[in-house]
């Protein structure tokens, strides 16, 4: 990439150390306020505070993202890439599917993210007998008022952990569709808005497929990215084993950014500049999967939208106010691989590697734009 084609980097692009008391975080409003003074999302006072807040610069978002990732890294050692990708998808307002073997920290990652921003978190253990109403909530008859009142389900939280999502029936899996796409729940003709931010982290085991229901294509397409944690290296695993005897590390985590600040970071990512050549590159890359002779199903137009949205968040997390083709290429695998269907699919964990390799081949065949500036 020729630097002369890129817009100048925003001033003050240096990121701050990941500490809640950092002056840069305090100056940008990202530091967590006292718990008794935190504005509640959805409350008029919260909306008014957000409307009068100064727009965040990319350097502010980068400092906040670094603080959140560093806080998560205190309980999940040796997985900086998975942590950064999860934080990026969260700031892109996208949902994440974590596909890996048991015991590698999938649920811990989601809980640590929630603890780092003071968010509400609910965990749903998906089982064959789980009903859609167990996810969304249902009307309950109130004996005192003699009326039905809606009892919210566990989906009413900032971060929802859908554990072993492929163990539930397709009917129950589909209960998440409206929630993930529109941020709302409709029950008995009444619509209820979900909390903001709203983020689904679903997990599934690619090895043990006994008694499971593969996610429907429409369901997989709702997830912005698929992440694999992988086993930790020897040193990180030794650190985990040694420190776990001293207590549950998750309980020691404290928020390093408020919910209001996180919503501002998400908004800043939405406004990151994208040159026309870069957006066309994202579209061309997505369309190339539909022409691949080794794919029976290519990526959808929604995938192109998600790819560009995620690239805007990644650019902002890196401290840039503009997207470059490198951002698109870095996210092509996580964003596109779980949406495509090979002609001859490999079962189990090998399917992830197969799809990722096909996406890498697509990236290698699509010309990269030479001018990506304003």
221-279 residue pLDDT tens:
999 999 998 888 888 888 888 877 777 788 889 999 999 999 999 999 999 999 999 99
Query: Tens digit of pLDDT for each residue in 85-134?
Result: 999 999 999 999 998 888 888 889 999 999 999 899 999 999 999 999 99
d(CA 26, CA 225): 31
**What is the spatial distance between Cα 243 and Cα 75, in angstroms, rounded to a whole number?**
9
Mean pLDDT across the stretch 358-362? 96
Last residue of a domain, one of 250, 271, 292: 271
Residue 262 lies in a domain: yes
> Domain check: are 80 and 225 in the same one?
yes
366 inside domain: yes
Say whether pLDDT at 48 is over 70: no
Average pLDDT of 283-292?
A: 97
100 and 171 part of one domain: yes
Q: Are residues 216 and 304 in the same domain?
A: no
Instruction: Say which CATH number the domain at 350 has.
Output: 1.10.8.80
Boundary of a domain, candidates 244, 271, 298: 271
Q: In which domain, by residue range, is 314 found?
A: 272-374
User: Are residues 169 and 98 both part of a single domain?
Assistant: yes
Same domain, 115 and 189: yes
DSSP 210: T
Q: Where does residue 129 rank: exposed (0-12), middle (13-18), buried (19+ CB within 10 A)?
A: exposed
User: Does residue 79 belong to any structural domain of this protein?
Assistant: yes
The CA-CA-CA angle for residues 318, 323, 328, to 5°, reads: 95
Please state the domain count of the chain.
2
pLDDT given for residue 31 in this prediction: 57
pLDDT of residue 210: 66
């Amino acid at each position: 990439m020729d630097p002369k084609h890129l817009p100048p980097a925003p001033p003050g692009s240096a990121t701050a150390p990941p500490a809640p008391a950092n002056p840069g975080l305090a100056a940008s409003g990202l530091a967590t306020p006292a718990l008794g003074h935190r504005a509640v999302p959805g409350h008029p006072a919260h909306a008014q505070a957000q409307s009068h807040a100064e727009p965040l610069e990319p350097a502010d978002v980068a400092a906040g993202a670094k603080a959140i990732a560093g806080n998560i890294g205190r309980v999940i050692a040796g997985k900086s890439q998975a942590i950064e990708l999860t934080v990026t998808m969260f700031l892109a307002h996208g949902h994440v599917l974590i596909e890996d073997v048991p015991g590698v920290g999938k649920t811990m990652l989601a809980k640590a993210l929630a603890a780092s921003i003071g968010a509400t978190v609910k965990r749903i253990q998906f089982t064959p007998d789980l009903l859609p109403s167990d996810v969304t909530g249902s009307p309950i008859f109130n004996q005192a008022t003699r009326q039905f009142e809606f009892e919210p389900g566990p989906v009413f939280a900032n971060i929802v952990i859908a554990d072993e999502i492929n163990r539930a029936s397709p009917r129950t899996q589909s209960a998440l569709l409206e929630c993930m796409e529109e941020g709302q729940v409709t029950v008995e003709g009444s619509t209820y808005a979900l909390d903001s931010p709203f983020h689904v982290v679903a997990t599934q085991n690619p090895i043990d497929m006994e008694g499971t229901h593969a996610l429907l294509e429409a369901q997989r397409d709702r997830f912005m990215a698929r992440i694999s944690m992988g086993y930790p290296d020897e040193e990180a695993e030794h650190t985990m084993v040694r420190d776990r005897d001293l207590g549950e590390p998750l309980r020691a985590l404290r928020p390093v950014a408020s919910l209001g600040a996180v919503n501002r970071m998400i908004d800043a990512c939405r406004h990151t500049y994208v040159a026309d050549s870069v957006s066309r590159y994202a579209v061309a890359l997505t369309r190339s999967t539909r022409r691949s002779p080794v794919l029976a199903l290519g990526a959808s137009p929604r995938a192109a939208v998600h790819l560009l949205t995620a690239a805007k968040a990644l650019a902002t997390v890196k401290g840039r106010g503009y997207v470059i083709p490198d951002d698109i290429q870095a996210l092509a695998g996580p964003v596109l691989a779980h949406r495509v269907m090979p002609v001859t699919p490999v079962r189990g964990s090998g399917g992830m590697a197969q799809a990722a390799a096909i996406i890498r081949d697509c990236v290698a065949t699509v010309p990269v734009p030479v001018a990506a500036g304003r």
